[in-house]
Structure 1
Amino acid sequence: MGYRVAVIGATGNVGREMLQILAERNFPADEVVALASSRSTGQSVSFGENAVLKVQDLAKFDFKGIDIALSSPGARVSAEHSPRAAKAGAVVIDNTSYWRMDPDVPLVVPEVNREAIAGYKRRGIIANPNCSTIQMVVALKPLHDAATIKRVVVATYQSTSGAGKEAMDELLNQTKSFFVNQDLEPKKFAKNIAFNVIPQIDVFMEDGSTKEEWKMVVETKKILDPKIKVHATCVRVPTFIGHAEAVTIELEQPLEEDEARRLLAAAPGILVVDRREPGGYVTPKEVTGQDAVFVSRVRVDPTVEHGLSLWCVSDNLRKGAALNAIQIAEELIKGYI
């Protein structure tokens, strides 16, 4: 049986990646529909290597007969159209921030909490977590199962693609301007991103955290374990694709670093590249277009009892967004719809 699939936000970075991955993984779709705002209606978007889809107007689209809607149009648009698609009978897999903390909407990373998919029936919506959360919880899962994580302190190094195409363009244009002695004022970011790092992603909250940092805390608790304490510092860096994270973990039970490395290497969705030599680790540039979460630099943290540290890198447009959504869809059709 083939499915009818709609991709909402098909002209954005994540939407285009969703279309590409659907084709790459031969998702059993009889029909794929590309949807976006009226400004994009009639544009062409690629579906795999040879097919092209004409973009249709999301606001006018009738979701009746659509089985699965992969949604990444922005939170305000999702708030309006994801319930509309669900009411028409589609299961919505939503990549925006709007639904993630709704208690009636499961927040899913298939390698971590696949069983939560069953909860979609309450609202007809499954939420895709934040990109930085996804790669971290994939790496944390085998360690938590083996020795129970008490506390996580994470610093992220997040690429500009996490803020959309305009952010990537801003990095490119500022970089070019540097070499011709021009000074371009930032528009997408609070400060210049070229040759710089910015310790702010999203808006500030009352406690001094940014909303991106808050997301990592509450989403990790919802996905993995509400007892885990998380403290995050999220930083935008001048790369185009790929998020990196320095993660320090405090465990309840002892876990040797060699055993931790073995558990990580055996876990689904993880590739361990950890040689203690120059270049014996993975960087964001190398993971572009890759599906896995890469883990390097596994070592003991001697400052706490049962402490470990690791370096975690992933393509934020793939595993951090589009791929995770499609993996949810693949699990959904195996036994939930």
Structure 2
Amino acid sequence: MGYKVAIAGATGNVGREMLSILAERNFPADQVVALASRRSVGQEVSYGDKTLKVKNLEGFDFSDVDVCLMSAGGSVSKEMSPKIGAQGCIVIDNSSAWRYDQDVPLIVPEVNPDAIEGYSKKNIIANPNCSTAQLVVALKPLHDHAKIKRIVVSTYQSVSGAGKDGMDELFEQSRAVFVADPIENKKFTKRIAFNVIPHIDVFMEDGSTKEEWKVMAETKKMLDPKIKVTCTAVRVPVFVGHSEAVNIEFENPITADEARDILREAPGCLVIDKREDGGYVTPLESAGDDATFISRIREDQTLDNGLNIWVVSDNLRKGAALNTIQIAELLVERGYLDKRQAA
């Protein structure tokens, strides 16, 4: 028996990626509906070898929809997700609107699949921030082995994390540099072409940005509330793929060789770690791939039980669309969508 799936925000970068991944992974859907705001109604999007016409999200009847993959932004999700959930449809939301709600599970299937049992409180499941998703995939198996005390993360985040407007701005500014046209900053606070910007999201009272706070709060919620986390989040002139330099302090001893072996066997992880020129992964190689890549695994000589690792992943896939589909697959695997149909 197949399921009816709705994609809300189907015309955006992540929405289109969701449709692509649903088809790639042969998700058991009998019917897929593409939804967006009124201004996008009638546009066409691809789903495998099919073309779907976009319908209006507002006022859509979800009473016979099994799962809604929501990528329409935080304000839309805050308004619409409870209404959709009240109709019996399970919402998997990609925005930050529900991540910190105690009654909404925040899920990375390789990390905390059992937390999905809490979905029924609101019929909403939250997808984590793109930079957190790849981070916890790499940290979970190491935490299980040697128990993490503290992590220091520096992120190098691609412009696609800021949506299509971010990608357009990098392209337009790069072109302007070469043809000596004026350069405009629209999406970002400073020029992104041939530059890096240590500022993602709004500033908070302690001087951190909201993006840095998200990494801390979400890691604690999904992995372990006792882990101390500090983060510096940086936007870099890369179109797709987030990278992270991670320093980890453990309670128990762990060597680089042990970590390498553990990560090679861990779900969702792919270790590319040769100590030679090019023996590591960059965001360019991660684009279009489902894996969380881990390189530069080495011991930190300034710490007892310390490691450094380099983590790279396609932020539109594992950081967003892929993880959403994996959560939907987990719902199928555990029979929750069958219960919805039976009801």
Alignment TM-score, normalising by the size of structure 2: 0.97
The answer for the alignment partner of 1:326 in structure 2 is: 325
The answer for the alignment partner of 1:243 in structure 2 is: 242
Contact 1:273 1:282 (8 Å CA) reproduced: yes
Structure 1 residue ranges, 4+ long, deviating more than 2 angstroms after superposition: none
Contact 1:117 1:126 (8 Å CA) reproduced: yes
The answer for the alignment partner of 2:96 in structure 1 is: 97
Q: CA RMSD in A?
A: 0.5
Q: Distance in 1 between matches of 2:160 and 2:64?
A: 33
| Paired AA for residue 223 in structure 1 | M
Q: Distance in 2 between matches of 1:54 and 1:188?
A: 29
Contact 1:265 1:271 (8 Å CA) reproduced: yes
The answer for the alignment partner of 2:340 in structure 1 is: none
Contact 1:36 1:58 (8 Å CA) reproduced: yes
Structure 1: tracts of 5 or more residues without a match: none
2:2 counterpart of 1:2:
yes
Structure 2: tracts of 5 or more residues without a match: 337-343
Q: Distance in 2 between matches of 1:322 and 1:142?
A: 23
Q: Secondary structure at the match of 1:34?
A: strand
| Paired AA for residue 271 in structure 2 | V
| CA 1:336–1:105: 2 relative to 1, 3 Å | farther
Residue by residue over 1:148-201, the C-alpha shift from the partner in whole angstroms, topping out at 9 and shown as x without a partner, is: 000000000000000000110000000000001112220000000000000000
Contact 1:201 1:236 (8 Å CA) reproduced: yes
Q: Distance in 2 between matches of 1:154 and 1:34?
A: 36
Q: Secondary structure at the match of 1:308?
A: strand
The answer for the alignment partner of 2:110 in structure 1 is: 111
Q: Distance in 1 between matches of 2:88 and 2:332?
A: 15
Q: Secondary structure at the match of 1:278?
A: coil
Alignment TM-score, normalising by the size of structure 1: 0.99
The answer for the alignment partner of 2:198 in structure 1 is: 199
Residue by residue over 1:72-114, the C-alpha shift from the partner in whole angstroms, topping out at 9 and shown as x without a partner, is: 1000000111111111111100000000000000000000000
Q: Please list, as runs of the form range in 1=range in 2, the aligned pairs for 1:269-284 lying within 5 A after superposition.
A: 269-284=268-283
What is the CA distance between 1:58 and its match in structure 2?
Answer: 0.5
Residue by residue over 1:131-162, the C-alpha shift from the partner in whole angstroms, topping out at 9 and shown as x without a partner, is: 00000000000110000000000000000000
The answer for the alignment partner of 2:24 in structure 1 is: 24
The answer for the alignment partner of 2:311 in structure 1 is: 312
What is the CA distance between 1:336 and its match in structure 2?
Answer: 4.1
The answer for the alignment partner of 1:38 in structure 2 is: 38
What is the CA distance between 1:60 and its match in structure 2?
Answer: 2.3
Q: Distance in 1 between matches of 2:262 and 2:62?
A: 43
The answer for the alignment partner of 1:60 in structure 2 is: 59
